Amino acid sequence: MALAGGKEVLLVGRLVVGIAVGLSSMAVPMYVSESAPVAIRGRLVTLTASAITLGTLVASLVCGALSGVGEGWRWMLGLGVVPAVLQLVGFTFMPETPRFLVSRGRDEQARQVLRRLRGDGAHVQHEYETIKADFDAQEALLRERAAAGGGGSVLTQLVREPSTRRALFAGCCLQMFQQVSGVNTVVYYSASIITLAGVREASMAIWLSSIPNLLSFLAKFVSLALVERAGRRPILLWSALGPALALLLLGAGFQLSASASPAVSVAGPAGCAASTCDACERAGVCGFCFQDLAAGPVNGSCLPIVSSYNSSAAAGRCADAAALGVDGLTWAPDWCPTDYAWLPITGMFFYISVYSPGLGAMPWTITSEIFPLWARSTCISITTAVKWFFNLLVSLTFLTLTHAITRQGTFYLFCGCTAVGLVVFFMAVPETRGVRLEEMPALFSQPWGLHAPRRAPSDRPSPQPYDNKACDSS
């Protein structure tokens, strides 16, 4: 991508990177959850999400530093080679997971990997025997169903198994609502939101867009500290409520900005007829030209934009770039002057702060641990595909939605989706803290919405098995 001579090569490079990210986003949480001790499993999976936000923060700072460099975008893309090479080298020293080795009949290798990960001791043999016994029981069940005419592919089996089917539903909902809460509008379009809010200088908007990434990284430490103490479910529920309120604030901020939008008092071309700056911007092909005086914006007009280069209008008094700045003449291709610019930006920062600990991290943590071994890779692949599908959907439709239902309407829509997600999480997602991977089917066999609080896992090397009867009685 860094060496691309045209958009076609860039597109091919983006597709290759997208495939790689899709594969790693499925494999990494699964690898960690299958390798980690139960007492710190959630913290380790959450740590991977924290590392992702750290990478995003570093990338945004690099982009800010290179924003004023000629062809700086080539450096922005090319520097991604460095962490990729380090990752490739590091992966060569990583063993297969014990559960994968057991599923392939490589029992002695599974014991060796457990000793390497846990240290030698009696608890290693106990953990191996537990993994082996559970896998053998699952295999026997599958063979029994196949003999009775109920065999088929893994997809067929997981649809027929009620607990796994319910776990898959919960995992898909977690990843779907993580995306339809509008996170991509904040992460991918943070600079655009800052500009839409009224920040005029492009370089300043790029630098300010790194603040959400910093807040996201810092907020992950909250989930790291609480995931094994408070549990996954409380963090998830509170973190779904917070973004809903933040999105409401974002919508209100843009609504106030629209209501106080400067008027168009100087007529422009027929194709850009509008009464206010907000209406002019929503047309998508027009920008606002005005005089920025001490008393405020005056003599506004709606003029056509240049699609590929918007430093000046395509026609009218702001078409001459040399005239801009003279007598306060200002060209706003995708923003409006407003006294309420601070409100959407505050809402965006609040959103990131409350989203990251729960909605940003818990879907990865929970989906990596709720599926039985025989269906884990298939189910995690499905939930990851759901995540990236809605990631694409939200990314593609955000700017279209802002033109169709206004900026405030778009964030109100995301607010409603997040509120629905909160209800679904309450009903469908149980607490998985302290539950061994092999005991998840019993957990997802409990009634919907009746999720008893879980005790913290023991610090001993081999925690006591999950007590399903005790949970049922409570």
Question: Does residue 354 register a pLDDT over 70?
Answer: yes
- Torsion sign over Cα 206, 254, 220, 14: negative
User: How close are the terminal C-alpha atoms of the chain, in Å?
Assistant: 57
Question: Torsions phi, psi of 235, nearest 5?
Answer: -60, -45
Distances (CA, A) of 348 to 231, 335, 391: 26, 17, 18
Q: What is the pLDDT of residue 188?
A: 63
The Cα 344–Cα 131 span in angstroms is 50
Averaged pLDDT, 256-275 = 85
pLDDT for position 25: 82
Q: Which CATH class is domain 18-94+152-255+355-438?
A: mainly alpha
Which pLDDT score is estimated for 189?
A: 63
CA–CA separation, 333 and 410 (whole Å): 20
Whole-number Å distance between alpha carbons of 31 and 285: 48
Report the range of poorest mean pLDDT among 64-78, 169-183, 245-259, 292-306: 64-78
CB-based contacts of 14, cutoff 8 Å, min separation 6: 1
pLDDT at 412: 94
The residues spanned by each domain of the chain are 18-94+152-255+355-438, 261-332
Q: The tokens 């973190």 sit on which residue?
A: 239
- Residues 205, 149: Cα–Cα separation, whole Å: 62
What is the rounded distance in angstroms from the CA atom of residue 70 to the CA atom of residue 251? 36
Q: For residue 402, give the amino acid letter.
A: T
The residue type found at 363 is P
Token pair for residue 359? Answer: 């909605």
**What value does the mean pLDDT take over residues 238-265?**
89
pLDDT at 210 over 70: yes
Q: How confident is the model at residue 456 (pLDDT cuts 50, 70, 90)?
A: very low
Helix extents (H) in 359-375: 362-367
* Per-residue pLDDT tens digits for 359-414: 888 888 888 888 887 788 888 889 989 998 998 899 888 878 888 888 889 999 99
Residues 6+ apart with CB under 8 A from 217: 50, 53, 54, 56, 57, 356
The answer to whether 431 touches 453, Cβ cutoff 8 Å, is yes
**CA dihedral for 117, 27, 100, 366, sign (positive or negative):** positive
Computed on alpha carbons and rounded to an integer, the radius of gyration of the chain in Å comes to 26
pLDDT category at 15 given cuts 50, 70, 90 is very high
Name every residue whose Cβ is closer than 8 Å to that of residue 450 and which is 6 or more positions away in sequence.
none
pLDDT digits (tens, 9 = 90+) for 285-326: 888 999 988 888 899 999 998 865 677 888 888 888 777 877
Mean pLDDT of 142-153: 65
How does the average pLDDT of the chain come out, rounded?
82
Is the predicted pLDDT of residue 418 greater than 90, yes or no? yes
Average pLDDT score over residue span 228-238: 87
Q: How confident is the model at residue 335 (pLDDT cuts 50, 70, 90)?
A: confident
Identify which of 113-122, 166-175, 337-346 has the greatest average pLDDT: 166-175
> In this prediction, what percent of the chain has a pLDDT beyond 90?
16
% of residues, the chain, pLDDT over 70: 87
Tens digit of each residue's pLDDT (9 = 90 or more) over 61-100: 888 788 777 788 898 889 989 989 998 999 899 999 988 8
DSSP conformation class of 315: S
What is the spatial distance between Cα 216 and Cα 210, in angstroms, rounded to a whole number? 10
Most confident of 83-87, 118-122, 152-156, 470-474: 83-87
217 vs 187: CA distance, rounded Å: 12
Over residues 45-59, the pLDDT tens digits come to: 888 878 888 888 888
Strands (E), 5-84: none
